[in-house]
Chains A and B, each alone.
Chain A
Amino acid sequence: MPENDFFRVEGLTKRFGGLTALDKLTFSVEKGMLFSIIGPNGAGKSTLFNCINSLYRPDEGKVWFRGKEITGLNPHRIAAAGIGRTFQNIELFANMTTMENLMLGRHLHMKTGLFGAAMMFHRRSRAAREEMVHRERVERIIDLLELQASRDKFVSQLPYGTRKVVELGRALAAEPELLLLDEPAAGLNNEEKEDLIFWIQDIRREFGITILMIEHNMQLVQDVSDRILAINFGKMITEGEPDEVVNHPEVMKAYLGG
């Protein structure tokens, strides 16, 4: 029964015209796991995330999260249910500072409405008090990810690697229970990659977040994952422990382009 699973995808299918980007994909993730998804370019990995987030509407199949079906809910409701994410090609708010970007992560947890906001005249007004509480939270994430130097810079001024970290921080600020990371290490240099691995493990320890990660870097995947799902052409190739999956003949074939 899907009710018992923390997160479960069941027979998910997405077609773009004649192309089947996802083909009856089924898998489930236990709470606290770091679950990786691998597959060659165009395999449908990002499409899977987009379907989970409802950015795309799947043609068939269901997504379950904490015992509730979330298929086809509005994206912001899915965020409210506790699923956060980052994007392959960084979707930051380019014309806002790092701080403001992270504060958007707190959006869900804040309550200020139109009237309250308009009346934010004083330090002790409710809106201002709430604002300060959440700035405090964001400040902690800034410390954790060592973003102090970028705190008040516009993200369009930041180098690529830092932007990736800011995006991670923004997702963390929302305190999701399930975090979807779409190629978090893509485009990073080795040093940045090491920092990233460190943070990902830190995040799991400190926040107890379940992570679903798309990654190309086999070494990274093997090092940090509890379980791996390999897909190609939208179909599952195999799923299991890191060593099994990486050494699976079809996975090797897909990666060597055979």
Chain B
Amino acid sequence: MISQIILSGLAIGSVYALMALAMSITYKASEIPNFAQGEMAMISTYIAYVLLVVQGISFFWAFIFALLFALVLGLALEFVFIRRAKEPNLLNLIIITLGFQMMLYGLAGWKWGADQRRLRMPFSETETYDLGGGVVVSQLGLATIGTAVVLMLIIWLFLRFTKLGLAMKASQQNAMAARINGIRTNRILSLSFGISSVVGAIAGMMVAPVTTLDPGMMWDPLLKGFAAAVLGGLTSLGGVVVGGYLLGVIENLFGFYISLEFKSVVAFLIIVIVLYVRPSGLFGRHYVRKV
């Protein structure tokens, strides 16, 4: 029984991990927690829905177009709004992302209303595989975990081995030095928003088939993604992924063994408790100011 609970925890944990990863990519580049992350993913998922269901395009192309849209949306957030902030301090930048989030939410609500729709995936939720010992996993769950793992691998390879990825890493670690070495840190920043938007969009497309497609669908995953990111330490990409899976599993275990009622509080209590004990999360680093 417990392994079944852990497995389904891992499935939902994949979503949290991806949202946390998306948060972390922008956070590392800009030190902004992007509150619009969820809504950006939601809109991209709607685009996929429109292409797939309304326009009748094949799943593969709908998927690709939606991701391209997500990329553009992320670049736009940075280029159109964040870059324009008169006083780019934490509060103002957070306000911009919150404002962007409200705008996207309103736009989706206006265009598609509050009706719940379904995004059909080529994976079924009812078709299950028996992993032995009574542990079963649905096709969709398997696809979710698989996609998340593949995506994380791609990101890791990208940051580790491509020129662009290395430039991103460099400008995160020392913007000044990176700039001196000819890296356009501004573009890198836009790119970080773009990439994280794509990662978020994939998480959105994984959530939609399980729940429903509606403007508020990414609220919960976003907040859980935050929790996971804090758990993992925000600045460590590996850490936040671990945080995501950990949160998924803990939440499921709590829901089963302790209280289903309060399952949704766990994430937020975890945030508060972890921050009490370790102010920079489990894997994050803490800086001291020098005077």
Residues of A within 8 A of B (CB): 46, 50, 55, 87-89, 91
Min Cβ gap A244→B in Å is 31
Q: Which residues of B contact A50 (CB under 8 A)?
A: 291
Across the interface, name the chain B residue whose C-beta is closest to A91: B291
Whole-angstrom distance between the Cβ of A55 and the nearest chain B Cβ? 7
Complex CA distance for A91 and B290, rounded to whole angstroms: 12
Can you list 7 contacts pairing A with B, beta carbon distance less than 8 Å? A46-B291, A50-B291, A55-B291, A87-B291, A88-B291, A89-B291, A91-B291
A89–B291 alpha-carbon span in the complex (Å): 7
| Chain B residues in 8 Å Cβ range of A88 | 291
Considering only CB atoms, which chain B residue lies closest to A56 in the complex?
B288
Chain B residues within 8 Å of A91, by CB: 291
**Which A residues lie within 8 Å of B291 (CB)?**
46, 50, 55, 87-89, 91
SS class, residues of chain A in contact with chain B: loop
Considering the chains assembled together, what is the distance between the CA atoms of A87 and B291 in angstroms? Answer: 7
Q: How far is the CA of A71 from the CA of B291 in the complex (A)?
A: 19
**B: which residues have CB within 8 A of A?**
291
Q: Which residue of A lies closest to B291 (CB)?
A: A87
Q: Give Cα A50–Cα B291 distance, bound, in whole angstroms.
A: 8
A55 to B288, CA, bound (A): 10
Per the bound structure, the CA–CA distance linking A55 and B290 in Å amounts to: 9
In the assembled complex, which residues on chain B have CB atoms less than 8 Å from the CB atom of A89? 291
- State the 5 A-B residue pairs at the shortest beta-carbon distance, nearest first: A87-B291, A91-B291, A55-B291, A50-B291, A89-B291
Q: Within the complex, what minimum Cβ distance (angstroms) separates B89 from chain A?
A: 12
Distance between Cα atoms of A55 and B291 in the complex (Å): 9
Which residues does chain B contribute within 8 Å of A55, judged by CB atoms?
291
CA distance A223 to B65 in the complex (A): 75
Per the bound structure, the CA–CA distance linking A130 and B50 in Å amounts to: 69
Name which residue of chain B comes closest to A53, CB basis: B291
How far is A76 from B152 in the complex, measured between Cα atoms in Å? 47
A182 — nearest CB in chain B belongs to which residue?
B291
User: Which residues of chain B are near A46, meaning CB under 8 Å?
Assistant: 291
In the complex, the chain B residue whose C-beta lies closest to that of A90 is B291
Smallest CB gap from B289: residue in A: A55
**Chain A's nearest CB lies how many Å from the CB of B287?**
13
Query: Which residue in chain A gives the minimum CB-CB distance to B288?
Result: A56
Shortest Cβ distance from residue A64 to the other chain B in the assembled complex, whole angstroms: 23
What chain B residues lie within 8 Å of A87 (beta carbons)? 291
CA distance A178 to B207 in the complex (A): 63
Give the distance in Å from the alpha carbon of A48 to the alpha carbon of B15 in the complex.
50
Shortest Cβ gap from B198 to chain A (Å)? 38
Bound-state Cα–Cα, A91 to B291, Å:
8
Say how far A41's CB is from chain B's closest CB, in angstroms.
14
A9 to chain B, nearest CB (A): 19
> CA of A46 to CA of B291 in the docked complex: distance in angstroms?
8
Give chain B nearest CB distance to A146 CB in angstroms.
27
With the chains together, A130 CA to B291 CA distance in Å?
33
CB distance from A141 to the nearest CB of B (A): 23
Q: Name the distance in Å between B92's Cβ and chain A's nearest Cβ.
A: 15
Cβ distance A20 to chain B, nearest Cβ, rounded Å: 16
CA distance A241 to B291 in the complex (A): 29
A88 CA / B291 CA spacing, docked (Å) = 7
A23 CB to nearest chain B CB (Å): 19
Q: How far is the CA of A87 from the CA of B290 in the complex (A)?
A: 11
Cα A33 to Cα B291 in complex, Å, equals 25
- Nearest residue (CB) in B for A50 is B291
Nearest to A89 among chain B residues (CB) is B291
A103 to B291, CA, bound (A): 22
- Nearest residue in B to A47 (C-beta to C-beta)? B290
Q: How many Å from the CB of A242 to the closest CB on chain B?
A: 28
CA distance A89 to B290 in the complex (A): 10
**Nearest-Cβ distance from residue A231 to partner chain B, whole angstroms:** 18
Residue of chain B at shortest CB distance from A88: B291
Measured in the bound complex, the distance between the Cα atoms of B291 and A249 in whole Å is: 31
